[in-house]
Amino acid sequence: MKTFAMMVLGCKVNDYEATYLRRKMLERYEEVSFKDKADIYIIFTCCVTNIAEAKTRKMLHRARNTNPDAYIVAIGCLSQIKGDTEDFKDVDLIIGSTRKDEVYDLINQHFQDNLVEELKDPGFEDLYLDTYPGKSRAFLKIQDGCNQYCAYCIIPYARGSERSAQHENIIKQAKVLSETSKELVLTGIHTGRYFDGEYHLYELLRDLEKIDDLKTIRLSSIEMNEVNDGIVAMIKNSGRIAHHLHIPVQSCSNEILTLMNRPYTIEEYTDRIAYIRKEIPDISISTDLIVGFPGETDEIFEKTLANLKKIRFSFIHVFPYARKKGTAADKLDVHLPNSVKKSRVNRVIEIEKGITKEFRKSFIGKQLEMLIEKKEEEYVYGYVKQYFYVKAYGKGEIGDIVKVRIDSVNDDEVIGNVTE
């Protein structure tokens, strides 16, 4: 039996698409570690940051070095953007942001052509999964593409325009996935812009709540101006929608937000976060932040730090600005040196550590629901609905949702006890 190895870089959408392909591949091939010699190597590529691009190139190089005769497949965003460059010269099959549902058949045919095509009007590709093997939670891709065109972002060029799955198909798949996974994560490139005619994210959440076996529904990411009052009320009153929202801010400075083409001011963002917390006091709100954007002076960066301390996110994914050819930001005049960007990333991380610890300590003595993802001796581990990881003394099976009391928080972990 021929073997394959898979490497998945990037976002939850890539994870979903890779899981679909892995299921198909296992019908005919045996999977081995990416470190091992394989007949076929499959890399799901990412181009969000320069680091992600470098990792993709490294994995392509590693695959060819491990087995010079292997059939190498590159799929996804970086393939779409740079599939015709020198970086992909040793790749046998290049798939961009369409035709992912054909990859398995193309591998079987040992098809040798570059299948990246222009993203004129791509439809939504339904990559149907009935289980999410090896995971306590399941991802469900409901949307693809983006029309926002933020100045720093290459994804609209890599993924194409916004399109969404038919809601009947989502509900059907969610019912099947709920038989083995009690938590469902709705994912997409611009998840909050889900639409199916007049049917939007609010209606989808409303109907997913009716699935009896589905205990937790989580949104992977949503923009500030898409968290409308109806969605806030639904989260507040629901026992199933996780009390966690990942709401990218990207900058805490109006000057930079304008340059980034973000559709809000920092005052509007801060007011919206305050409203959400007033309605849902125990909610966890995390974010993405880019530092070192062109034109970000020392004064502007200090303003960002002050606003971060004011907003107090539960955790922050902070990235140094990555220059991307073809984006509006690439044409700006004042690009900062990497040393400045690295220093600013570190300063944000230092501030985040204290705020994150303080947020988690606010739950000491309280009971939270946790999805068990790992067992080890007398402890179980997993994420609570507020999306932080807990080590809890007690019993339970992987995939169970249990109640835990939070007892202590230190720099490295949150400790609790299973109460029921």
Could you tell me the domains of the chain? 3-108 (3.40.50.12160), 137-360 (3.80.30.20), 367-418 (2.40.50.140)
CB 244 within 8 A of CB 360: no
Q: What is the pLDDT of residue 105?
A: 85
Q: What is the pLDDT of residue 121?
A: 64
Structure tokens that stand for 256 in this block: 């930079």
Structure tokens that stand for 409 in this block: 């928080």
CB 244 within 8 A of CB 284: yes
- Long-range residue pairs from 200-206, CB within 8 A, at least 24 positions apart, any chain: 201/226, 201/231, 202/228, 202/230, 202/231, 202/234, 203/167, 204/142, 204/167, 204/170, 205/231, 205/234, 205/238, 205/241, 206/234
CA angle 316, 317, 320 (to 5 degrees): 120
Exposure class string for 346-361: b at 16+ Cβ within 10 A, else e = ebbeebbeebbeebbe
CB 396 within 8 A of CB 402: yes
Residue type for position 213 = D
Q: What is the pLDDT of residue 2?
A: 87
Q: What is the pLDDT of residue 110?
A: 60
- Dihedral sign computed on CA atoms, order 294, 299, 300, 305: positive
Q: What is the pLDDT of residue 111?
A: 35
Report the 3 state secondary structure along 153-220: CCHHHHHCCCEECCHHHHHHHHHHHCCCCCEEEEECCCHHHCEECCEEHHHHHHHHCCCCCCCEEEEC
CA angle 292, 296, 300 (to 5 degrees): 120
Q: What is the pLDDT of residue 113?
A: 46
Entry pTM: 0.79
DSSP H or E segment with residue 21: helix 12-25
How many angstroms separate the CA atoms of 129 and 138, rounded?
10
- Dihedral sign computed on CA atoms, order 346, 348, 349, 351: positive
CB 76 within 8 A of CB 97: yes
Q: What is the pLDDT of residue 66?
A: 94
DSSP annotation string for 238-271: -SSB-SEEE---B-S-HHHHHHHT-SS-HHHHHH
Residue tagged 């798939």 (tokens): 95
Exposure class string for 146-174: b at 16+ Cβ within 10 A, else e = beeebbbbbbbbbbbebbbbebeebeebb
Q: What is the pLDDT of residue 273?
A: 97
Q: What is the pLDDT of residue 156?
A: 87
- CA nearest neighbour of 334 among 249, 255, 262: 255
Q: What stretches in the chain show pLDDT beneath 50?
A: 111-115
How many angstroms separate the CA atoms of 285 and 119, rounded?
34
How many angstroms separate the CA atoms of 68 and 90, rounded?
9
Kind of pairing between the strands at 379-384 and 367-376: antiparallel
Kind of pairing between the strands at 379-384 and 389-393: antiparallel
- CA nearest neighbour of 329 among 250, 223, 246, 222: 250
Q: What is the pLDDT of residue 186?
A: 95
Q: What is the pLDDT of residue 134?
A: 67
Q: Which residues pair with 414 in a beta bridge?
A: 390, 409
Classified as helix, coil or strand, 273 is helix
Q: Which residues pair with 307 in a beta bridge?
A: none
